[in-house]
Structure 1
Amino acid sequence: MTNILDLVGRIFISLVFLLSGINKIGNYEGTIGWMESLGMPGIFLIPAIILEIGAPILIMIGYKVKISAALLSLFCIATAIIFHTDFSNQMQFVSFMKNIALAGGFLFLVINETKEFSLERKLGK
């Protein structure tokens, strides 16, 4: 049961970012406009998309999980600080806290080994 829950947990926490990265591709110009309206250069969208698609896939398959989870944890903290600090807006506060909570979840992946349903285990690490 632990192996299944580990896999399901990795999939659940990763899906948010995988779908977000795909959505950013589909709404590329709109996302750049939103980022730039908040003072963030649009060129940063490309690495964000790569991270939001690549790292979740690696976490889901269980390969380079610690590195991928650490990067996504830092990404969550950075995006919370850059994009979600207007606490006069309740939704901004909720988004800030969601990002911090996700960062914490990724830190659990950093400190814990993947279980049996992972590519790292199959390859013998």
Structure 2
Amino acid sequence: MFNPNVSFKNAFENTNLGHLVNLLCRALLLWLFFVSGWGKVVNYDAVAAYMGTVGLPSSLLPLVILLELGGGLAILFGFQTRVIAVFMAVYCILSAILFHAGADDANNFMKNFGLAGGFLLLTVYGAGRFSIDHLLEK
């Protein structure tokens, strides 16, 4: 009996196509966080003030920027992917709760939890063959 799930598994599991899709997913994640991190750099004062509205010290902003820009690049290149992905997942959940918990921002709240799920998948499965991690683990 034909099972499409098995067909997809065979097409993607431990194949170059699967590893290429993994790289594409990491690039899409980088795009989101790179744009967001860069926006925080160019609007530093406004973002710092916004952080203060939820009781966070603006001294955390450089760490947020480092995580978004540096963590995003690390995810793209597949460097320490599992470790960085855990930090990114926690960051997504915390930012959802702190900044997007209102009913008027439910889409961003759910988006952040969805991103956390993607990062947790990277934690479990890693960056794949097309990554620095793969080279270092050999």
Q: Same fold (TM over 0.5)?
A: yes
Partner of 2:124: 111
1:79 to 2:79 alignment: no
Give how far 1:122 is off: 2.0
SS in 2 for 1:123: helix
Q: 1:42 aligns with which of 58, 64, 78?
A: 58
Structure 2: any 5+ residue segments left out of the alignment? Answer: 1-16
1:8 to 2:19 alignment: no
Q: How many residues align?
A: 122
SS in 1 for 2:137: coil
Percent of pairs identical after alignment? 33
TM-score after normalising by structure 2: 0.84
CA–CA distance in structure 1, aligned partners of residues 60 and 18 of structure 2:
38
Give how far 1:123 is off: 2.8
**Following TM superposition, where does structure 1 have runs of at least 4 consecutive aligned residues deviating by more than 6 angstroms?**
none
Give how far 1:53 is off: 0.9
The superposition leaves residues 2-29 of structure 1 with CA deviations (integer Å, 9 ceiling, x where unpaired) of 1211100111122211211111000000
Whichever residue aligns with residue 57 of structure 1, its letter is: L
Give how far 1:101 is off: 0.4
Whichever residue aligns with residue 36 of structure 1, its letter is: G
Give how far 1:50 is off: 0.8
> Which of the pair has the greater relative contact order for Cα pairs under 8 Å at 6+ separation?
1
CA–CA distance in structure 2, aligned partners of residues 99 and 58 of structure 1:
19
Whichever residue aligns with residue 16 of structure 1, its letter is: L
Stretch deviating more after TM superposition (36-45 or 52-61): 36-45
Structure 1: any 5+ residue segments left out of the alignment? Answer: none
Q: 1:24 aligns with which of 10, 27, 40?
A: 40
Stretch deviating more after TM superposition (55-64 or 112-121): 112-121
Partner of 1:101: 114
TM-score after normalising by structure 1: 0.92
